[in-house]
Amino acid sequence: MEKTDVLVVGGSAAGIVAATTGKTFHPDKDFMLIRKEVQVVVPCGIPYIFGSLESSDEDVIPDAVLSNGGIRTKIGEVVSMDTQSKVCVTDDGTEIRYQKLVLALGSTPYVPEWLPGTELENVYTIPKNKEYLDGLLAKLAEFRNLVVVGGGFIGVEMSDELHKIGKSVTLVEILPHVLELAFDQEFAMEAEKILESRGVKVRTGDGIKNIQGTTKVEGVILNSGERLEADAVILAMGYRPNTSVAEQSGIELNRMGFIKVNEYMRTDREDILAVGDCAEKKSFITRTTKNIMLASTACAEARVAALNLYRLSAVKTFGGTIAIYSTVIGDTAFGVAGVTESLAKERGFNIATAAFEGVDRHPGKLPGTHKQKVKLIVTRDAGVMIGGQVMGGASTGELTNLIGLAIENRMGVDSILTGQIGTHPLLTAPPTAYPLIKAAEAIAKSRWIS
């Protein structure tokens, strides 16, 4: 029987942060992290293994993060848990007794049961599994025509990276536009246009019906009847939480299969917390249960869990996911925080929105200037920020984070309107036409005087 004070199960972003931040705030406790993987890939970096990095070895989270933080690490899979006696059992039969257990079990790519042909050779998914990804990488030379199914972030980034290395890539998305679950249509259409201009073939408004082939993939039939030549198919149709071991031990899951947690990230057992892709997600704004999975949300949850392991700390609860994320297609970045205009309307918010398009350097003649567009979504009554979208250059990610900070702190759009920002010719939009502020100004005008 091994023993530890805090046992963290899972070695990806959420597990690492839960362990290292937990140890920071509980230096007297012993922390052990157990994971299946010998090497852990940086999850969001996976698409870039294919086109931008030399190999998957460049996309590995160094174990020094854990050892420098004073965390013991163990390779193995937890196959059962006794939550009464507080013991986990691993695949080699080792028993580990804990005081506190943090489940960071992660997620697995979704492969639809209704889709014929998924058993064929050269049908791939994108799991957080270095060996599997290396297997795909090694086979890529054999493939000419690739079909990527699913136009979310992973599908879009994979398509662009695979096209970069000379593959003929077709991206299939059943919705009218790629990225449409994340962005309002005008942003999604812009993303789609750029993706197509770079050479990725895009089929939207059309789903996959079956994958054809005898032993290997030969083609794909779409719902419309169109047939696509394919040497390989990559399914980027979402992920499902890895919660079976939790379910078997009696821990409560929600109807979508995620572990139920409260704002302290505690499960229905006081000594067991869950964070990351396996933990229940609620929308910060709409308060509905979501199946969003983001490393950044996972890390915020993990920090909250780390701070609330032994004592509760009411100022530091997790109030729901704001779903802040960004992506890049070519040299254009897209970022979003909170709800889109279409989701806000669908959920019943009375909103005011505005967008402003300018440039991300000033004067705009400076080399490297990129156009920058910011859209804000605000409640019409109280003027509270509930969403924002950004299209621009290299500063898009942090500008989106600024909007996210405003949303998370329930700021009024007026605090943006007269907010102080710093500007620099080479780093930001001009102070006279800073798109974030000009969008806030347009909203204030529409709320106050029209």
* Contacts of a second copy in 409-428 (CB under 8 A): 409, 411-412, 414-415, 417-428
* Candidates 76-84, 135-143, 245-253, 406-414; binding stretch for a second copy (CB under 8 A): 406-414
Stretch binding a second copy (CB under 8 A), from 128-136, 196-204, 230-238, 290-298: 290-298
**Binding flag, residue 328, a second copy (CB under 8 A):** yes
**Interaction of residue 446 with a second copy, rule CB under 8 A:** no
Can residue 318 be called a binding residue for a second copy (CB under 8 A)?
Answer: yes
316 lies in the site for a second copy, by CB under 8 A: yes
Using alpha carbons, select from 426, 433, 432 the residue that is nearest to residue 365: 426
C-alpha triplet 338, 341, 343: angle, nearest 5°: 75
Q: Which residue in 362, 378, 413, 439 binds a second copy (CB under 8 A)? A: 362
Q: Which stretch binds a second copy (CB under 8 A): 42-50, 195-203, 206-214, 217-225?
A: 42-50
> Which 3 state secondary structure label does DSSP give 123?
strand
Q: How far is the CB of 187 from a second copy (least distance, A)?
A: 15
CA 375 to chain centre: 21
Which residues make beta-bridge pairs with 147? 170, 233
Q: Which residues contact 13 (CB under 8 A, 6 or more apart)?
A: 43, 61, 276, 295, 298, 299, 302
* DSSP annotation string for 279-299: B-EEBTTT--EE----HHHHH
**Least CB distance to a second copy at residue 42 (A):** 5
Using the rule CB under 8 A, which residue among 8, 32, 278, 300 binds a second copy? 300
Asked if 58 interacts with a second copy (CB under 8 A), we say yes
Q: Determine the residue type at 66.
A: L
Binding residue for a second copy, selected from 60, 189, 292, 384, defined by CB under 8 A: 60
Write the interaction track for a second copy spanning residues 164-203; mark x where CB under 8 A is met and - where it is not: ----------------------------------------
250 counts as binding a second copy under rule CB under 8 A: no
**In this structure, what token pair is assigned to residue 163?**
């096209």
Query: Looking at the DSSP assignment, which residues form a beta bridge with residue 121?
Result: 216
Nearer residue to a second copy within complex by CB, 258 or 325: 325
Tell me the closest approach of the beta carbon of residue 335 to a second copy, in angstroms.
7
CA dist 303 and 286 (Å) reads 23
Beta bridge partner(s), residue 170: 147, 201
Instruction: Give, as one character, the DSSP assignment of residue 11.
Output: -
- Least distance (Å) between residue 434 CB and a second copy: 8
With binding defined as CB under 8 A, does residue 73 bind a second copy? Answer: no
Residue 88 as a binder of a second copy (CB under 8 A): the answer is no
Residues 19 and 33: their CA atoms lie apart, in Å, by 7
- 3-class secondary-structure state, position 161: helix
399 binds a second copy (CB under 8 A): yes
**Rounded distance between C-alpha atoms, residue 254 and residue 270, angstroms:** 17
Indicate whether 304 belongs to the interface with a second copy (CB under 8 A).
yes
* 318, amino acid identity: F
Read off the DSSP letter of residue 258: P
CB of 443 to a second copy, least distance (A): 11
Give residues 208-247 in contact with a second copy (rule: CB under 8 A).
Answer: none
